Structure 1
Amino acid sequence: MVSQVRAELLKLLSLPTAWVGLVLGLIAAPALALVSAGGTRRAIENGFHADASDAAFQPLGIGLLGALILGVVVMSSEYTSTGDDSPGARQLQATLAAMPRRWRLVAAKAVTLSLLVTVQGTITAVVTLALNRVVLGDLVPAAAPGRVAGAVLYWVLMGLLAYALMLIFRNGIVTLTVLILNISVVSFSYLLTKVTPLAAYLPDIVGTHMFLNEVGDVRIAPLTAGVVMTGWVVALLGLGGWMFDRRDP
């Protein structure tokens, strides 16, 4: 498995789109923290944040785009053509020739993605929170290590969620478009919470309870949130792996 993870990591890092995801994930959140510092300061001083500590974590939401891109690209790259000489052939056929056990391939890609997003998320979270402390000072309390770990875990699980959806739908453009719209334009899950409180347990919403204290009207303990979101991701990865195992190359 170690050699397969290494091969998948090298393959992923050879893709230009993967580097877009890496760079975007690393710089977007710190940049937003700096740009929005004035507005965040005024919002805290005017009492618009029920929990001021959440303000330091909120810029991490935009950086999550990088993890989603990585989650999609790690699999969508397998469906690209291998070259003009063989327009009907795809990278997946070569990958399966080298690694014919499909479940092992699914697992290797999941481990590779998890490792890469963990590093990306940790660096981004530490830098973003440090910048917030510099620009906002005592308006935001120092971040507890548990909350930082929760934010990084959320990134990893969202990256794996994107990977699972890519396995299921086999369309990177549609998968990424829906995910980006959901976190950057309008959260369909959040809108559903206005209809039923059960929607608070959907994966993208419930996971935010691992590091944010104020998320809608439903309160979910961080540990419970982590267990529920992990359950969602494992179930969807299982479904995606099962579908991938039974499809033609």
Structure 2
Amino acid sequence: MSLVRAELRKLLGLPTAWVGLVLGTLTAPVVVLLNAPYTRRAIAAGTLTDTSDLGLRDLGIGLIGPMVLGVIVVSSEYTSTGQDAPGARQLTATLAAVPDRLRLLVAKTTALVLVVAAQAVVTATATLTLTQVLHGEHAPAPAPARVAAALLYWTLTALLAYALALITRNGVVPLTLLIINSSVVSVSYLLTKVTDLAAYLPDIAGTQMFLRSGDFPVEIAPVTAGLVMTTWVVALLAVGAVLFRRRDT
């Protein structure tokens, strides 16, 4: 537990981590607020008839938060400590204090999950409450199981980013790919137009844990979708852990 506390302090001491916390927490509620006039008009005009995903769908916009946190918890270890010693990195000092690399990864993973889960709870509460206040009876409260699945999706997304950063030992590449795929152009979604197997990619399958409407080529049951995404994350984490243990600093 002392090692987990140390990793928590280290993570929360990073300025970039706070960027991820602020962006991830505020983006979804702000988008709900800005989109409220359009959503009301769409409901009144009858062009938006299925409102079961209102609020929950907007949570996906805040995924940049857990992505940043998942990447920075690893990439910060590989960043140069300063111009005076460009070859020195935080990881050297970390491993000197904790030589057991597997134990270090367990502590880092636990710290990341705790921070992202707390962020997800705050963001989901704010987003769903604001959605109900703005749209009243048109935005029924989602079932607790769907909210829990959305929180799990946030946590798994952070772990996915974390695993990719472990594998690449780089923060820029995985973060760029994840942000582009989730906000600019979804390569995963485009692949679903080519093959139905793309529906089992982690981000596509994961959304079916809690969303009920969407252009999915293959309908996956929520529990199955959760198992698919979890399998992806566990597999990538295993690869990242093996590489982390075998590589030099």
TM bin (shorter chain): over 0.9
Q: CA deviation at 1:106?
A: 1.4
Structure 2 match to 1:95: 94
Residue 248 (structure 2) pairs with residue 248 (structure 1) = yes
- Where does structure 1 differ by over 6 angstroms across 4 or more consecutive aligned residues? none
Change (3 A) 1:47 1:208: farther
Structure 2 match to 1:225: 225
Which of 79-88 and 192-201 deviates more?
79-88
Which residue type is aligned with residue 248 of structure 1? D
Which residue type is aligned with residue 219 of structure 2? R
- Which whole-Å CA distance do the structure 2 matches of 1:31 and 1:101 have between them? 43
Q: CA deviation at 1:49?
A: 4.2
Change (3 A) 1:47 1:239: farther
Q: SS in structure 1 opposite 2:61?
A: helix
Which of 52-61 and 113-122 deviates more?
52-61
- Which whole-Å CA distance do the structure 2 matches of 1:49 and 1:111 have between them? 40
Residue 96 (structure 2) pairs with residue 108 (structure 1) = no
C-alpha distance after superposition, 1:22-64 (max 9, x if no partner): 1111111100010011112233344444631112212111111
C-alpha distance after superposition, 1:158-177 (max 9, x if no partner): 00000000001112111111
Change (3 A) 1:35 1:101: same
- Which whole-Å CA distance do the structure 1 matches of 2:234 and 2:68 have between them? 19
Structure 2 match to 1:180: 179
Structure 1 match to 2:40: 41
Q: Is the 8 A contact 1:50 1:214 kept in 2?
A: no
Which residue type is aligned with residue 187 of structure 1? S
- Which whole-Å CA distance do the structure 1 matches of 2:130 and 2:241 have between them? 40
Which residue type is aligned with residue 241 of structure 1? A
- Which whole-Å CA distance do the structure 2 matches of 1:120 and 1:6 have between them? 17
C-alpha distance after superposition, 1:163-213 (max 9, x if no partner): 000001112111111100000011111111111111111001101011100
Structure 1: unaligned runs, 5 residues or longer: none
Residue 5 (structure 2) pairs with residue 6 (structure 1) = yes
Q: Is the 8 A contact 1:5 1:109 kept in 2?
A: yes
**Identity %, equivalent residues:** 62
- Which whole-Å CA distance do the structure 1 matches of 2:116 and 2:196 have between them? 30
Q: SS in structure 1 opposite 2:141?
A: coil
Structure 2 match to 1:166: 165
- Which whole-Å CA distance do the structure 2 matches of 1:179 and 1:14 have between them? 24
- Which whole-Å CA distance do the structure 1 matches of 2:14 and 2:162 have between them? 16
When normalised by structure 1's length, the TM-score is 0.96
Change (3 A) 1:146 1:162: same
Structure 2: unaligned runs, 5 residues or longer: none
